[in-house]
Amino acid sequence: MPTDPKHAIGPNLNRREFLGASMGAALLVTLGGVLSCSGRKGTVPTLSALPYGESDLAPVISAKTIQFHYGKHHKGYVEKLNKLTSGTAFADLPLADIIAATAGQSDQQAVFNNAAQVWNHDFYWRSLRPKGGGTPPSALKQRLEASFGSIEKCKEALAAAANGQFGSGWAWLVQDGDRLKVLRTANADLPLTQGLRPLLNIDVWEHAYYLDYQNRRADHVQAVLDKLINWEFAEKNLLTQAT
Ligand code: MN
């Protein structure tokens, strides 16, 4: 699989490969490429370093929330994954292959959940940045306006997905061929298994906001969209020649 250094989450995500392969070999290859930057490198499962200091997202997300969210929850998924895969056929597989091999397998739900949550959180921390929000860079801005009508409409769609997710889950901006879309997933689920290329995500598990906002998820989501969302990261993930 060739790599493309222009794109932060790896080489081309070929939608036909995804849709045609189900959970087959092509999906494994494709997921492997997309997920190659994850915290689990080859057979060495790790907790990825935060791309900023734990106080740098305050006041929207406090240092205390980061300490628990990154230092307890995210770290916990890494540790649980290692415990579950130790001594099994998954122990020597990269994270990407574990996700692809366990997606939709009811007898591997715990392994999938922890592997996917490691990936989702690696992606989430990079979907935010200090002094984020604002106007997206031009290539992404054009795509967003073509797909949603305006940046504001895209933000409204992301907020609606985040706030409309019943219980735990994620809101996502994804690329589907030439179009950008917003979708939500429950619990650990992620768009990769639907053949969609993630551009950014927002964590709406209660642990992401409860210490700072209690039950006010909508206030948290709006503040994230206005002040932290990392449009530059999303643009890096954009395929300019979608297949
Ligand atoms: Mn989380």
Cα separation, 174 vs 226, whole angstroms: 19
Q: Report residue 45's pLDDT band, with 50, 70 and 90 as the boundaries.
A: low
Q: 243 CA to middle of ligand 1, Å? A: 31
DSSP SS3 for 126: helix
How many CB atoms sit inside 10 A of residue 90's CB? 19
Q: Are residues 116 and 202 in the same domain?
A: no
Q: 239 CA to middle of ligand 1, Å? A: 26
Lowest mean pLDDT among 39-43, 56-60, 107-111: 39-43
Cα separation, 162 vs 169, whole angstroms: 8
Q: How big is the chain by its Cα radius of gyration, in Å?
A: 17
Lowest mean pLDDT among 37-46, 90-99, 217-226: 37-46
Q: Please indicate, yes or no, if residue 57 is contained in any of the structural domains.
A: yes
Q: Report residue 241's pLDDT band, with 50, 70 and 90 as the boundaries.
A: low
Contact 125, 50 (CB under 8 A): yes
Q: 26 CA to middle of ligand 1, Å? A: 29
Q: 20 CA to middle of ligand 1, Å? A: 31
Decide which of 99, 126, 153 is a domain's last residue.
126
Cα separation, 202 vs 159, whole angstroms: 9
Cα separation, 124 vs 73, whole angstroms: 13
Q: 185 CA to middle of ligand 1, Å? A: 13
How many CB atoms sit inside 10 A of residue 39's CB? 20
Q: Are residues 208 and 104 in the same domain?
A: no
Would the pLDDT of 48 be above 90?
Answer: yes
Which pTM value belongs to this model? 0.84
Q: Tell me, what's the pLDDT at 5?
A: 34
Q: Are residues 142 and 231 in the same domain?
A: yes
Would the pLDDT of 1 be above 80?
Answer: no
Q: 72 CA to middle of ligand 1, Å? A: 10
Q: Which helix (H) or strand (E) holds 84?
A: helix 75-85
Q: Copy the structure tokens of residue 195.
A: 């053949």
Q: Are residues 109 and 48 in the same domain?
A: yes
Would the pLDDT of 213 be above 70?
Answer: yes
Q: Are residues 147 and 235 in the same domain?
A: yes
Contact 169, 162 (CB under 8 A): no
Would the pLDDT of 33 be above 60?
Answer: no
pLDDT in tens, 5-18: 333 343 333 333 33
Q: 3 CA to middle of ligand 1, Å? A: 29
Q: 73 CA to middle of ligand 1, Å? A: 7
Q: 108 CA to middle of ligand 1, Å? A: 21
Q: Are residues 31 and 55 in the same domain?
A: yes
Residue 20 structural domain: 5-126
Greater pLDDT, 194 or 61: 61
As beta bridge partners, residue 185 has: 170
Q: Are residues 110 and 209 in the same domain?
A: no
Q: Please indicate, yes or no, if residue 172 is contained in any of the structural domains.
A: yes
Would the pLDDT of 146 be above 60?
Answer: yes
Decide which of 63, 95, 126 is a domain's last residue.
126
Q: 64 CA to middle of ligand 1, Å? A: 14
Q: 180 CA to middle of ligand 1, Å? A: 24
Q: Please indicate, yes or no, if residue 132 is contained in any of the structural domains.
A: no
pLDDT in tens, 77-134: 999 999 999 999 999 899 989 999 999 999 999 999 999 999 999 999 999 999 999 9
Q: 188 CA to middle of ligand 1, Å? A: 9
Q: 208 CA to middle of ligand 1, Å? A: 5
Q: Tell me, what's the pLDDT at 152?
A: 98
Tokens 């070929």 -> residue: 14
What CATH number does residue 174 fall under? 3.55.40.20
Q: 70 CA to middle of ligand 1, Å? A: 8
Q: 2 CA to middle of ligand 1, Å? A: 31
- State how many domains the chain has: 2
